Amino acid sequence: MFSVIMDRRTFVQTTGAVGAVGLTGLAGCLGDDNGDNGDDFPSESLTWMIPWGEGGGTDTYARQMAPLMEDPLDQSIEIDNREGAGSMLGSEWLVQQDPDGYTFGTVNPPGWSFTWRAQDVDAWEPEDLEPIAYSGVFGYTLIVNDDAAEDAGGIDDFESLRDAYADDEISGFGYQGAGSDSHLTTLLLREEYDLDYDSAVPYDGGGPTMEAVIGGEVAAGFATNTSAVAAEESGEATAIVNLMDIDLDHVFPDIDPITDYGDSLAWITEFYQVQVAPPETPEEEREVLMDAIQEATEHEETQEWEEETGNIVEFGDMDDAADQYVGSVEEIESQVDESIGGFDEFQRLVEEEEDEEE
Amino acid sequence: MTVESFVGAIEALLTVETMIWLLAGVIIGIIVGGLPGLGPPLGMAIILPLTLPLDAANAIILLVGVYSGSMYGGSIAAILINTPGVSSSAATMFDGYPMSQQGRAATALAISATASAFAGLFTIAALILFSPALIEMVLAVGTPERFLVAILGLAMITVVTRGSLAKGLLAGVAGLLVTTVGIAPMSLDQRYSETMYLYDGIDFVAVLIGLFAIAEMMKLAGQEGGIAKDEVTIDRAGITEGVRSTINHPITVFKSANIGMIVGAIPGAGATVSNFVAYSEAVRSSSDPDSFGSGNEIGVIASEASNNGTVAGSLVPAISFGIPGSSSTAVLIGGLLMHDLRPGPSMFDPSGELTLTYTMLLALLVGNVVILLFGLSMVTQLGYLTKIDTDYIIPMVIVLSFLGTYALRINPIDILTVIVFGIIGFYMVRYNYSVIAFVLGVVLGDIAEENLYTALQLSDGSFMIFVNPLEYGRWLSLILSVLIVLLIFGPYVKQWWERRQAV
């Protein structure tokens, strides 16, 4: 669902343009007397940038929260979808906006940091953006096709899934796009958790991957915790492995945690809905937004929505939000180094798989 | 039990409040669909949070009303100003716009309203009756089949191209080339993406708007008067003629609606593909294929019947498995979840949510009647657009095209795309290169590439997955492969056979 790797050359060329716009933003800031809006923030409508298309998971969160934030802010919030390049286009746009608190956005670290690193973006850095709060978390599970599981004599946890692949009783493992975080996780599951699938098959995002498992085209594959609910509802597939650290027992009572089989994978399988503001946005404005987000996450309607949809709503304040992405690129780099030998090696493995197909 | 659910659904539908929401949805849909670039997903996403205070049935009815209405609304801009309001109306332009030029806009609009409504009525009724079979079909369609459907669409180039076949193929290949820009759908290869704005490639809706709207406005700039070159007849006779024309072609309506429903049920294909397939099939089966592209009413019937048929088809994977076949159905699924309805078999279970599913489908049935009545009552007013002097039309269309294009994904590259393809489209028409073949390439390239790659990954690189059901168990693939071969070589074999018989 996230990104794909891109080569170094591509992004160098955007640097100049961003630099120029960045300066303009700064000039605007200097022109302002105090650099903040005083006590009357917000006095006009706000823009909430979502770097994904309408109807996706992050968009759904924002559209749930926005109306509930309008009351405490006493202003309307307009959702602005700026999709593209695995959320990098929208993020780059946000970096260039005025730091007046009226424009903010959502990013999904650590997947976001992974994408930034994998694409070698150098026009801006994740840490340029100012933290506001986080409002939720989601992550990956593994789902298995029920018929395939039955034919293999029952697959209900990671161990039996591993055995079924090892004994050639099932075939095909679906993930969400070449070079994505789920691709890296797929490789890690093979290297470190002995998941010896016969072929790993990339699909174009979460929907098609889930569809491939439900239709039995591949025996098992990735699904986010919310789409795993839908997969189970279809009556054709079951969520059997929780790749996150967050407990999912209330939704999937029998799900098997991957941490029983090795180290935590949360650094690449757990994603936060983190709200961030353009560089230099004053803390006072961000606090106002943070309070509104907190109110929205604790609202009765949100609680109901959480129960109904299986989305996990969780509030984290400004410091918690910063913790989710400040330093996360280094964390990912060291994890990738340790587990697979670095990003270059990851890219090499991905290309090797491609060549095998050709 | 099923009957009880059905009766319950009728009762739920026949309340003033529900009817108002349905009417509102359809009308909003027609407006959103009619504005270039503002497709149904955006319209539905804006409305989604507003449905929160409504009860589940009314909320879903409002959303599907927008979805269904926009499919018809897209044809208005296609017919009147050669701009696809939604990408699923692209094929409507091929004959709808020439009809406007001939002064027959009223007839074309009446055909569009009637064909949309009839196809919608028929496919929704079929969905109510045959949903179990359709659910099975969705599961049978996988990656290899999606690739073959795309190839079937590309093979249609041989059918829809008039004049030089070589030029048609060249245009088709050029269209495929456009889809190679950006990151390769299933690998890490970067192609021509010099800036991050090209990372996701060239947006095909922007290409369509350039090829048709901008190219046509360039052409019109050299022409005096209104869009209609001939005497404009906007009266009841034109409307009656349109309605009668649709009724006189029941097979085209039936066939196109079915194509729409089946292609719509295939996630990832949807209305954009189905309206081309239905149009090509209409050309193929016609006794006078050369008349298409210059105002043949059957072309409008085929395209418009298929895109409304797609609505019913796309609901099958969305409701039964929670699989979004398109952005529109993704938003719809979001709406279902928001109102505590989980897509899944329980939606078709009498002890589950069957009553609500029936209410939604019946609402769509009534929605199609609304489309028919609203559409026909608006024809005369809309038709006058073609009489307005082009000096006023051109700037309006150009502004709308650019605004709509920018709204697509707020990417400045799309603006450049519109300009470049406007110029390309202008010269393609001038030098008789098939724009339709080009569009088929642009629309189907990504779908074909992505599914070919994944299918070969499934078969360890063996192409036999497309033709050998004994090993891979994919009978539908074999049937599609045979259809493709028949489509390409059928006419030659027929000619050879006839010559042989003559000797």
Which residue has tokens 């005497």? B231
How far apart are the C-alpha atoms of B292 and B130, rounded to whole Å? Answer: 34
Identify the pLDDT of residue A37: 58
Distances (CA, A) of B324 to A87, A178, A311, B4, B343: 20, 21, 18, 29, 10
Cβ distance A11 to B196 less than 8 Å, yes or no, reads yes
Q: Mean of the pLDDT values across residues A71-84?
A: 89
Q: Mean of the pLDDT values across residues A188-203?
A: 92
Q: Is the pLDDT of residue A2 over 70?
A: no
**Which of the four CATH numbers 3.30.1360.20, 3.40.50.1220, 3.40.190.150, 3.30.750.24 does domain A8-138+270-334 have?**
3.40.190.150
Residue B262's CB is within 10 A of a number of other CB atoms, namely: 22
List chain A residues with CB under 8 Å of B267: 207-208, 211
Closest CB to B461 among A13, A347, A357: A357
Q: What would the DSSP string read from start to end of B446-484?
A: HHHHHHHHHHHHHTTT-GGGGT-HHHH--HHHHHHHHHH
> Which residues, in sequence order, are bridge partners of residue A222?
A142
Which residue has tokens 């089946």? B262
- The residue type at B65: G
Q: Mean of the pLDDT values across residues B399-427?
A: 88
Closest CB to A215 among B142, B185, B346: B142
Cβ distance B342 to A229 less than 8 Å, yes or no, reads yes
Q: Tell me, yes or no, if B501 comes closer than 8 A to chain A by beta carbon.
A: no
Residues 6+ apart with CB under 8 A from A304: none
pLDDT above 70 covers what percent of chain A?
Answer: 87
pLDDT above 90 covers what percent of chain A?
Answer: 55
Cβ distance A212 to B143 less than 8 Å, yes or no, reads yes
Identify the pLDDT of residue A18: 35
Residue B282's CB is within 10 A of a number of other CB atoms, namely: 30
Which of A3, A7, A10 should be substituted to probe chain B, the one whose Cβ sees the most B Cβ atoms within 10 Å? A10
Contacts 24+ apart (CB under 8 A), B317-320: B317/A211, B317/B138, B317/B265, B317/B267, B318/B343, B319/B343, B319/B347, B319/B348, B319/B357, B320/A234, B320/B131, B320/B135, B320/B138, B320/B344, B320/B345, B320/B347, B320/B348
Q: What is the ipTM of this complex?
A: 0.73
Query: Which chain A residue's Cα is nearest to B53?
Result: A301
pLDDT above 70 covers what percent of chain B?
Answer: 95
Mark residue A195 as left, alpha or beta (left: phi above 0; alpha: psi -120 to 50; beta: remaining).
Answer: beta
pLDDT tens track for B257-294 = 999 988 888 766 677 788 888 998 999 888 888 888 88
Structure tokens, B162: 């008039």
- Of A87-91, A92-96, B350-354, B481-485, the one with minimum mean pLDDT is B350-354
Give the DSSP H or E segment for A77.
strand A77-81
Closest CB to A84 among B143, B199, B458: B199
Q: Mean of the pLDDT values across residues A38-47?
A: 86
pLDDT above 90 covers what percent of chain B?
Answer: 25
Q: How confident is the model at residue A244 (pLDDT cuts 50, 70, 90)?
A: very high
pLDDT tens track for A269-313 = 999 999 999 999 999 999 999 999 999 999 998 998 888 778 899
Which residue has tokens 């697509």? B408
Is residue B344 packed enough to be buried (19+ CB in 10 Å), middle (13-18) or exposed (0-12)?
buried
**Residue A66 C-alpha, separation from nearest chain B C-alpha, in angstroms:** 9
**Best-predicted range by mean pLDDT among A80-84, B86-90, B455-459?**
B455-459
Query: Which chain A residue's Cα is nearest to B203?
Result: A84
Q: Mean of the pLDDT values across residues A256-260?
A: 95
Residue A190's CB is within 10 A of a number of other CB atoms, namely: 16
Cβ distance A85 to B52 less than 8 Å, yes or no, reads no
Cβ distance B333 to A55 less than 8 Å, yes or no, reads yes
**Residue A225 C-alpha, separation from nearest chain B C-alpha, in angstroms:** 14
Of residues A171, A231, A230, A226, the one with CA closest to residue A201: A171
Which of A15, A60, A313 should be substituted to probe chain B, the one whose Cβ sees the most B Cβ atoms within 10 Å? A60
Q: Mean of the pLDDT values across residues B468-492?
A: 87
Which of A63, A64, A303, A358 should be substituted to probe chain B, the one whose Cβ sees the most B Cβ atoms within 10 Å? A63
Identify the pLDDT of residue A30: 39
Structure tokens, A196: 């010896």
Half-sphere exposure of B463 (CA within 13 A, CB side): 3
Structure tokens, A189: 């599951």
Query: Which chain B residue's Cα is nearest to A7?
Result: B190
Query: Which chain A residue's Cα is nearest to B341?
Result: A308
Query: Which chain A residue's Cα is nearest to B195?
Result: A10
How far apart are the C-alpha atoms of B355 and B369, rounded to whole Å? Answer: 21
Structure tokens, B407: 């709204």
Which position has the higher pLDDT, B169 or B229? Answer: B169
Q: Is the pLDDT of residue A145 over 80?
A: yes
**Which of the four CATH numbers 3.40.50.300, 3.40.190.10, 3.30.70.980, 3.40.50.970 does domain A139-267+344-357 have?**
3.40.190.10
Distances (CA, A) of B286 to B252, B397, B486: 10, 33, 17
Q: Mean of the pLDDT values across residues A331-349?
A: 86
> Which residues, in sequence order, are bridge partners of residue A25?
none
List chain A residues with CB under 8 Å of B338: 64, 305, 308-309
Which residue has tokens 């269904």? B68
Q: Is the pLDDT of residue B437 over 70?
A: yes
Which position has the higher pLDDT, A150 or B393? Answer: A150
Half-sphere exposure of B51 (CA within 13 A, CB side): 33
Buried b (16+ CB within 10 A) or exposed e, B365-399: bbbbebbbebbbeebbebbebbeeebeebbeebbe
Q: How confident is the model at residue B455 (pLDDT cuts 50, 70, 90)?
A: very high
Identify the pLDDT of residue A7: 38
Q: Is the pLDDT of residue A1 over 60?
A: no
CA B437 to chain centre: 16
Which position has the higher pLDDT, A349 or B309? Answer: B309
Of residues B169, B177, B227, B185, the one with CA closest to residue B207: B177
pTM recorded for the entire structure: 0.78
List chain B residues with CB under 8 Å of A66: 49
pLDDT tens track for B35-87 = 776 667 777 877 776 787 888 889 999 999 999 888 888 888 889 888 877 77
Domain ranges of chain A: 8-138+270-334, 139-267+344-357
Residues 6+ apart with CB under 8 A from B379: B106, B109, B110, B113, B234, B238, B239, B242
pLDDT tens track for A198-219 = 999 988 778 788 888 988 899 9
Query: Which chain A residue's Cα is nearest to B320?
Result: A234
Closest CB to B193 among A10, A81, A88: A10
> Which residues, in sequence order, are bridge partners of residue A78?
A47
Residues B76 and B110: beta-carbon distance below 8 Å: no
Cβ distance B343 to A67 less than 8 Å, yes or no, reads no
pLDDT tens track for B292-320 = 888 999 999 999 999 888 888 888 888 87
- What does pLDDT average to over chain A? 85
Please state the φ and ψ torsions of residue B441, each to the nearest 5 degrees: -60, -45
Cβ distance A215 to B338 less than 8 Å, yes or no, reads no
- What does pLDDT average to over chain B? 85
Cβ distance A84 to B200 less than 8 Å, yes or no, reads yes
Distances (CA, A) of A297 to A51, A101, A286, A293, B396: 21, 20, 16, 6, 44
List chain B residues with CB under 8 Å of A84: 196-197, 199-200, 409, 411
Cβ distance A54 to B331 less than 8 Å, yes or no, reads yes
pLDDT tens track for B115-143 = 999 999 999 998 888 877 777 777 777 88
Domain ranges of chain B: 2-458, 459-503
Cβ distance A54 to B41 less than 8 Å, yes or no, reads yes
Identify the pLDDT of residue A3: 39
Q: Is the pLDDT of residue A34 over 50?
A: no
Identify the pLDDT of residue A23: 36
List chain A residues with CB under 8 Å of B183: 4, 6
Q: Mean of the pLDDT values across residues B107-115?
A: 93
Mark residue B460 as left, alpha or beta (left: phi above 0; alpha: psi -120 to 50; beta: remaining).
Answer: left
Q: Is the pLDDT of residue A10 over 70?
A: no
- Start-to-end Cα distance in chain B: 65
- Of B97-106, B210-219, B400-409, the one with minimum mean pLDDT is B400-409
Which of A63, A69, A171, A211 should be substituted to probe chain B, the one whose Cβ sees the most B Cβ atoms within 10 Å? A211
Closest CB to B267 among A13, A53, A211: A211
List chain A residues with CB under 8 Å of B453: 202, 357
Identify the pLDDT of residue A265: 93
Q: Tell me, yes or no, if B224 comes closer than 8 A to chain A by beta carbon.
A: no
**Residue B457 C-alpha, separation from nearest chain A C-alpha, in angstroms:** 6
pLDDT tens track for B19-46 = 999 999 999 888 888 877 666 777 787 7
Cβ distance B323 to A211 less than 8 Å, yes or no, reads yes
* SS3 state at B183: strand
Cβ distance A217 to B188 less than 8 Å, yes or no, reads no
**Best-predicted range by mean pLDDT among A119-123, A242-246, B358-362, B439-443?**
A242-246
Q: Tell me, yes or no, if B420 comes closer than 8 A to chain A by beta carbon.
A: no
Structure tokens, B166: 């070589």
How far apart are the C-alpha atoms of A307 and A23, rounded to whole Å? Answer: 45
Which position has the higher pLDDT, A32 or B433? Answer: B433
Buried b (16+ CB within 10 A) or exposed e, B195-233: ebbbbbbbbbbbbbbbbbbbbbbbebeeeeebbbeeebb
How far apart are the C-alpha atoms of B268 and B147, rounded to whole Å? Answer: 11
Most distant pair of Cα atoms in chain A: their distance: 72
Identify the pLDDT of residue A19: 35
**Residue B410 C-alpha, separation from nearest chain A C-alpha, in angstroms:** 6
Q: Tell me, yes or no, if B320 comes closer than 8 A to chain A by beta carbon.
A: yes
Cβ distance A178 to B460 less than 8 Å, yes or no, reads no
Identify the pLDDT of residue A15: 33
Identify the pLDDT of residue A354: 66
Identify the pLDDT of residue B86: 74
Interface of B with A in 227-266 (CB under 8 A): none
Q: Mean of the pLDDT values across residues B193-198?
A: 80
